[in-house]
Protein backbone atom coordinates (compact mmCIF):
# COMPACT_ATOMS: atom_id res chain seq x y z
CA UNK A 1 0.00 0.00 0.00
CA UNK A 2 1.12 3.51 -0.79
CA UNK A 3 2.50 4.99 2.51
CA UNK A 4 1.01 8.37 1.57
CA UNK A 5 -2.48 6.87 1.90
CA UNK A 6 -2.24 7.38 5.66
CA UNK A 7 -2.91 11.08 5.01
CA UNK A 8 -6.06 10.61 2.90
CA UNK A 9 -8.05 12.68 5.37
CA UNK A 10 -5.25 15.17 6.16
CA UNK A 11 -4.51 17.44 3.20
CA UNK A 12 -2.01 19.57 5.12
CA UNK A 13 0.18 16.69 6.34
CA UNK A 14 -0.14 15.04 2.94
CA UNK A 15 1.66 17.96 1.30
CA UNK A 16 4.23 18.42 4.09
CA UNK A 17 5.15 14.73 3.83
CA UNK A 18 6.05 15.07 0.17
CA UNK A 19 2.85 13.44 -1.02
CA UNK A 20 0.12 14.83 -3.23
CA UNK A 21 -3.64 15.00 -2.79
CA UNK A 22 -5.56 14.04 -5.94
CA UNK A 23 -9.21 13.88 -6.89
CA UNK A 24 -10.12 10.83 -8.90
CA UNK A 25 -12.97 10.13 -11.24
CA UNK A 26 -14.39 6.82 -12.40
CA UNK A 27 -11.80 4.40 -13.84
CA UNK A 28 -8.90 6.72 -12.91
CA UNK A 29 -5.69 5.52 -11.21
CA UNK A 30 -2.74 7.53 -9.83
CA UNK A 31 0.46 6.06 -8.38
CA UNK A 32 -1.15 2.61 -8.01
CA UNK A 33 -4.26 3.89 -6.26
CA UNK A 34 -7.49 3.65 -8.26
CA UNK A 35 -10.97 5.08 -8.01
CA UNK A 36 -13.23 2.86 -5.87
CA UNK A 37 -16.23 1.94 -8.05
CA UNK A 38 -18.29 1.36 -4.92
CA UNK A 39 -17.50 4.73 -3.47
CA UNK A 40 -18.48 8.31 -4.29
CA UNK A 41 -18.36 9.67 -7.83
CA UNK A 42 -15.37 11.89 -6.98
CA UNK A 43 -12.84 10.59 -4.47
CA UNK A 44 -9.77 12.23 -2.87
CA UNK A 45 -6.62 10.30 -2.00
CA UNK A 46 -3.14 11.19 -0.72
CA UNK A 47 -0.67 9.38 -2.97
CA UNK A 48 2.98 9.34 -3.99
CA UNK A 49 3.52 12.28 -6.36
CA UNK A 50 2.62 11.59 -9.99
CA UNK A 51 2.80 14.87 -11.90
CA UNK A 52 1.22 13.42 -15.03
CA UNK A 53 -2.21 14.06 -13.51
CA UNK A 54 -1.70 17.77 -14.18
CA UNK A 55 -2.52 18.49 -17.79
CA UNK A 56 -2.25 22.26 -17.54
CA UNK A 57 0.93 24.20 -16.84
CA UNK A 58 -0.78 26.45 -14.30
CA UNK A 59 -1.82 23.55 -12.06
CA UNK A 60 1.52 21.83 -12.62
CA UNK A 61 3.46 24.89 -11.48
CA UNK A 62 1.33 25.16 -8.35
CA UNK A 63 2.38 21.68 -7.28
CA UNK A 64 5.69 22.00 -5.34
CA UNK A 65 6.74 18.53 -6.52
CA UNK A 66 6.19 19.15 -10.22
CA UNK A 67 7.37 21.30 -13.09
CA UNK A 68 6.00 21.85 -16.57
CA UNK A 69 8.57 20.88 -19.20
CA UNK A 70 8.28 20.32 -22.96
CA UNK A 71 4.50 20.44 -22.86
CA UNK A 72 4.09 17.94 -20.00
CA UNK A 73 4.02 17.98 -16.22
CA UNK A 74 6.91 15.95 -14.79
CA UNK A 75 8.28 15.21 -11.34
CA UNK A 76 10.97 17.66 -10.23
CA UNK A 77 11.61 21.17 -9.02
CA UNK A 78 11.76 23.78 -11.76
CA UNK A 79 14.73 26.13 -11.99
CA UNK A 80 13.38 29.50 -10.81
CA UNK A 81 15.60 31.25 -13.37
CA UNK A 82 14.38 29.15 -16.32
CA UNK A 83 11.28 31.30 -16.70
CA UNK A 84 13.49 34.25 -17.68
CA UNK A 85 14.94 32.48 -20.73
CA UNK A 86 12.23 33.86 -23.00
CA UNK A 87 12.89 37.39 -21.72
CA UNK A 88 16.51 37.31 -22.83
CA UNK A 89 20.00 37.82 -21.45
CA UNK A 90 19.56 41.26 -19.89
CA UNK A 91 16.53 40.28 -17.79
CA UNK A 92 18.25 37.07 -16.75
CA UNK A 93 21.43 38.76 -15.54
CA UNK A 94 19.46 41.39 -13.62
CA UNK A 95 17.88 38.66 -11.51
CA UNK A 96 19.98 37.78 -8.48
CA UNK A 97 21.21 34.19 -8.51
CA UNK A 98 20.68 33.69 -12.25
CA UNK A 99 23.23 33.27 -15.02
CA UNK A 100 23.04 33.22 -18.82
CA UNK A 101 24.49 30.20 -20.64
CA UNK A 102 24.30 31.78 -24.07
CA UNK A 103 20.93 30.27 -24.93
CA UNK A 104 19.12 29.89 -21.61
CA UNK A 105 18.76 31.36 -18.12
CA UNK A 106 19.57 29.10 -15.18
CA UNK A 107 20.49 29.23 -11.51
CA UNK A 108 24.13 30.11 -10.93
CA UNK A 109 26.65 32.89 -10.39
CA UNK A 110 26.97 34.97 -13.53
CA UNK A 111 29.99 36.86 -14.80
CA UNK A 112 29.46 40.52 -13.76
CA UNK A 113 30.80 41.60 -17.14
CA UNK A 114 28.43 39.45 -19.20
CA UNK A 115 25.66 42.05 -19.04
CA UNK A 116 27.65 44.42 -21.27
CA UNK A 117 26.52 43.64 -24.80
CA UNK A 118 28.65 46.18 -26.69
CA UNK A 119 32.42 46.64 -26.89
CA UNK A 120 32.06 50.25 -25.72
CA UNK A 121 30.18 49.36 -22.52
CA UNK A 122 32.37 46.32 -21.94
CA UNK A 123 35.71 48.14 -22.12
CA UNK A 124 34.35 51.10 -20.15
CA UNK A 125 33.56 48.67 -17.31
CA UNK A 126 37.12 47.37 -17.38
CA UNK A 127 36.11 44.00 -18.83
CA UNK A 128 37.48 42.02 -21.77
CA UNK A 129 35.78 42.01 -25.19
CA UNK A 130 36.41 39.03 -27.50
CA UNK A 131 34.57 40.42 -30.50
CA UNK A 132 31.12 39.07 -29.65
CA UNK A 133 30.76 38.91 -25.85
CA UNK A 134 32.03 40.54 -22.68
CA UNK A 135 33.66 38.68 -19.80
CA UNK A 136 35.91 39.20 -16.82
CA UNK A 137 39.46 39.45 -18.11
CA UNK A 138 42.76 39.20 -16.29
CA UNK A 139 44.37 41.13 -19.12
CA UNK A 140 44.51 44.84 -18.20
CA UNK A 141 42.53 47.15 -20.41
CA UNK A 142 44.92 49.34 -22.40
CA UNK A 143 44.19 52.52 -24.33
CA UNK A 144 44.58 50.83 -27.72
CA UNK A 145 41.57 48.61 -26.92
CA UNK A 146 39.26 51.63 -27.22
CA UNK A 147 38.05 52.01 -30.80
CA UNK A 148 36.12 55.28 -30.60
CA UNK A 149 36.83 58.82 -29.45
CA UNK A 150 34.16 58.92 -26.72
CA UNK A 151 35.23 55.76 -24.92
CA UNK A 152 38.89 56.71 -25.29
CA UNK A 153 38.23 60.12 -23.74
CA UNK A 154 36.40 58.57 -20.80
CA UNK A 155 39.28 56.21 -20.05
CA UNK A 156 41.82 57.57 -17.58
CA UNK A 157 45.22 58.32 -19.08
CA UNK A 158 44.12 57.89 -22.70
CA UNK A 159 44.11 60.36 -25.60
CA UNK A 160 42.36 60.10 -28.97
CA UNK A 161 44.40 60.85 -32.11
CA UNK A 162 42.15 62.48 -34.70
CA UNK A 163 44.67 62.00 -37.52
CA UNK A 164 45.39 58.32 -36.84
CA UNK A 165 41.91 57.52 -35.43
CA UNK A 166 43.51 55.56 -32.60
CA UNK A 167 43.53 55.69 -28.81
CA UNK A 168 46.88 55.78 -27.05
CA UNK A 169 48.33 56.49 -23.63
CA UNK A 170 48.49 60.19 -22.80
CA UNK A 171 51.92 59.63 -21.24
CA UNK A 172 53.31 58.05 -24.39
CA UNK A 173 55.93 60.15 -26.22
CA UNK A 174 54.58 61.05 -29.65
CA UNK A 175 56.60 59.88 -32.62
CA UNK A 176 58.81 62.67 -33.99
CA UNK A 177 57.59 64.26 -37.21
CA UNK A 178 60.17 63.69 -39.96
CA UNK A 179 61.78 66.85 -41.33
CA UNK A 180 60.34 67.99 -44.64
CA UNK A 181 62.63 67.77 -47.67
CA UNK A 182 62.68 70.18 -50.60
CA UNK A 183 61.32 67.52 -52.93
CA UNK A 184 58.14 67.29 -50.81
CA UNK A 185 57.09 70.84 -51.77
CA UNK A 186 54.92 70.94 -54.87
CA UNK A 187 54.48 74.68 -55.41
CA UNK A 188 56.92 77.49 -56.20
CA UNK A 189 55.88 79.79 -53.32
CA UNK A 190 56.36 77.21 -50.56
CA UNK A 191 59.63 76.05 -52.11
CA UNK A 192 61.02 79.60 -52.30
CA UNK A 193 60.15 80.27 -48.64
CA UNK A 194 62.10 77.24 -47.43
CA UNK A 195 65.78 77.75 -46.65
CA UNK A 196 68.07 75.66 -48.80
CA UNK A 197 65.45 75.00 -51.50
CA UNK A 198 65.26 76.28 -55.09
CA UNK A 199 62.37 76.00 -57.57
CA UNK A 200 63.22 74.51 -60.96
CA UNK A 201 60.86 76.39 -63.29
CA UNK A 202 61.40 74.11 -66.28
CA UNK A 203 61.00 70.82 -64.43
CA UNK A 204 58.35 72.17 -62.04
CA UNK A 205 60.03 70.63 -59.00
CA UNK A 206 61.68 71.88 -55.81
CA UNK A 207 65.36 71.00 -55.49
CA UNK A 208 67.86 71.22 -52.65
CA UNK A 209 70.49 73.93 -53.24
CA UNK A 210 74.03 72.64 -53.50
CA UNK A 211 76.20 74.64 -51.12
CA UNK A 212 79.61 75.72 -52.54
CA UNK A 213 82.64 73.96 -51.14
CA UNK A 214 84.63 76.24 -48.80
CA UNK A 215 87.87 77.69 -50.19
CA UNK A 216 90.77 75.83 -48.58
CA UNK A 217 93.00 77.92 -46.36
CA UNK A 218 96.48 78.57 -47.77
CA UNK A 219 99.25 76.34 -46.48
CA UNK A 220 101.08 77.97 -43.57
CA UNK A 221 104.43 79.31 -44.65
CA UNK A 222 103.83 78.74 -48.38
CA UNK A 223 103.65 81.93 -50.49
CA UNK A 224 100.32 82.64 -52.16
CA UNK A 225 100.38 82.27 -55.94
CA UNK A 226 98.16 83.27 -58.85
CA UNK A 227 96.93 79.65 -59.05
CA UNK A 228 94.70 80.34 -56.04
CA UNK A 229 92.40 82.31 -58.32
CA UNK A 230 89.83 80.15 -60.10
CA UNK A 231 87.99 82.96 -61.86
CA UNK A 232 89.19 85.25 -64.63
CA UNK A 233 88.03 88.47 -62.99
CA UNK A 234 89.80 87.78 -59.67
CA UNK A 235 92.95 86.66 -61.50
CA UNK A 236 93.33 89.80 -63.62
CA UNK A 237 92.55 91.97 -60.60
CA UNK A 238 95.57 90.61 -58.67
CA UNK A 239 98.08 93.19 -59.94
CA UNK A 240 100.36 92.80 -56.93
CA UNK A 241 101.40 89.36 -58.11
CA UNK A 242 101.15 90.27 -61.79
CA UNK A 243 98.55 87.54 -62.46
CA UNK A 244 96.99 87.06 -65.88
CA UNK A 245 94.26 84.72 -67.00
CA UNK A 246 95.24 82.01 -69.49
CA UNK A 247 92.09 81.72 -71.60
CA UNK A 248 93.11 78.45 -73.33
CA UNK A 249 94.22 76.64 -70.18
CA UNK A 250 91.50 78.36 -68.05
CA UNK A 251 94.02 78.95 -65.22
CA UNK A 252 95.54 81.95 -63.50
CA UNK A 253 99.32 82.27 -63.87
Each residue's pLDDT tens digit, 55-66? 788 888 777 778
- For 138, the domain range is 125-169
Across 187-191, average pLDDT? 87
Q: What is the spatial distance between Cα 22 and Cα 66, in angstroms, rounded to a whole number?
A: 14
Q: Is residue 192 part of a domain?
A: no
Does residue 4 contact residue 16 with C-beta atoms inside 8 Å? Answer: no
Instruction: Examine the fold and report which residue of 144, 169, 194 is the final residue of a domain before the chain moves on.
Output: 169
Q: How many structural domains is the chain composed of?
A: 2
Q: Is residue 63 part of a domain?
A: yes
Q: What is the spatial distance between Cα 129 and Cα 147, in angstroms, rounded to a whole number?
A: 12
- β-bridge mates for residue 159, sequence order: 168
Q: Is residue 158 part of a domain?
A: yes
Same domain for 74 and 130?
no
The percentage of the chain sitting over the pLDDT mark of 90, rounded to a whole number, equals: 3
The percentage of the chain sitting over the pLDDT mark of 70, rounded to a whole number, equals: 86
**Is beta strand 66-69 parallel, antiparallel or unpaired with respect to 43-47?**
unpaired
Each residue's pLDDT tens digit, 95-152: 878 887 777 888 877 677 777 777 778 777 778 776 677 777 645 567 887 777 887 8
Q: Is residue 134 part of a domain?
A: yes
For residues 71 and 9, the model is more confident at: 9
Q: Is residue 220 part of a domain?
A: no
Instruction: Examine the fold and report which residue of 117, 138, 169 is the final residue of a domain before the chain moves on.
Output: 169
Q: Is residue 103 part of a domain?
A: no
Instruction: Examine the fold and report which residue of 78, 99, 133 is the final residue of a domain before the chain moves on.
Output: 78
Amino acid sequence: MDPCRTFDADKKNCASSGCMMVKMKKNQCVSGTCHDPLGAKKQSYCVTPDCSVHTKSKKCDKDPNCMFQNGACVLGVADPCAGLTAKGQKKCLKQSGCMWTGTACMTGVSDPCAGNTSSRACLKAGCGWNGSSCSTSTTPVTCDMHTDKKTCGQAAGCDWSKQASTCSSAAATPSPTPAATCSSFTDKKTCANMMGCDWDRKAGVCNTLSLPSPTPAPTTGAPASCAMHTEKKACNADVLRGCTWDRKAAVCA
